[in-house]
Amino acid sequence: MKIVENRTFDEDRALYSSDDLVIRKCKFDGPADGENALMDSKNIKVEDCSFNLRNPFWHTSNLIIENSEMTKRCVAPICYSDHVIINRCQLGGDKALRESSEVKIKDCDIDSDEFGWSAHDIIIEDADTKGNFFMMKSTNLKFADIHHIGDSAFHHICNVLFENCTIDSKDAFHYAKNVTVRNCEINGDRIGWNSENVVFDNCTIRGSHPFCHCKGLRLIDCKLLGADQSFEGSDVEATLLSPVISIKNPASGTIRVPIYEELIMDDPEAKCNIITEGS
């Protein structure tokens, strides 16, 4: 493979359509303010580089990026790309990953609004992630040991596994489908609305109005803290380990809970079975 080392690039399409290239200790920055540095490239390895220009990796295949930084000015760096590995990097630009597939991200710091939209076959591990509308409309995902901060995360996701994650997000998991969340902590109001076939296993969920208008919802040995008007209009099977402030008109299924402060069943279509300790 050809090696490009200790250089600075600022022009448009500086390394356009490259193949079998190692880029080491280079900077993509300068007065020309160019875009699409490695567009339409393949078999690229990037090490210890800095990117301060827009859209460097569009339509790029077989890409490895390690120990590198993409600044806030590096907007939409990885789009329409496939077979990407990103290790020990900082991704700071908005829309940092879009419409890409077969991507593995590990030990990274991500601060990016609208990250990961319409992406497929993505694995993110040991990462700190920040940004609103994270991973919207993406499928076949796996998250392990991530801490995410940002509202409206994981909307319209499908076929997803979360393990050992902390998620601080209002309005998360709306319209999610076929999702398992295991050994996680979720903090935010209005979690999981309009979701389908979502399972929370051994999780702690904090926030008001959780899990409304869901289909096929399952909660296994979970704690709901600060949960008022829970499960409205939902089909749910739940075993809860903590008291609940209030339960409102769950449509069907069974909820097992130690105790609740208030049960609101003023909708004739609400036929869920509520079982408390000693009942």
How much of the chain, in percent, has pLDDT values that exceed 70? 99
Predicted confidence band at 138 (pLDDT cuts at 50, 70, 90)? very high
Domains plus CATH for the chain?
1-104 (2.160.20), 132-279 (no CATH)
Q: Each residue of 159-188: pLDDT tens digit?
A: 999 999 999 999 999 999 999 999 999 999
| 124 beta partners | 105, 143
Q: What is the pTM of this model?
A: 0.96
Residue 159 to residues 95, 138, 143, 194, 266, Cα–Cα distance (Å): 22, 9, 12, 16, 35
Please say whether the beta carbons of 277 and 259 come within 8 A. Answer: yes
Q: Each residue of 57-111: pLDDT tens digit?
A: 999 999 999 999 999 999 999 999 999 999 999 999 999 999 999 999 999 999 9
Residue 31 to residues 28, 39, 57, Cα–Cα distance (Å): 11, 20, 20
User: What pLDDT is stored for residue 277 in this prediction?
Assistant: 79
* 11: CB partners within 8 A, 6+ apart: 32, 34
Q: Which residue type is seen at 159?
A: N
Please say whether the beta carbons of 190 and 212 come within 8 A. Answer: yes
Task: For residues 220-231, give the mean pLDDT.
Answer: 98
Residue 279 has pLDDT above 70, yes or no: no
- Strand 177-182 relative to strand 19-24, pairing: unpaired
Q: Each residue of 31-40: pLDDT tens digit?
A: 999 999 999 9
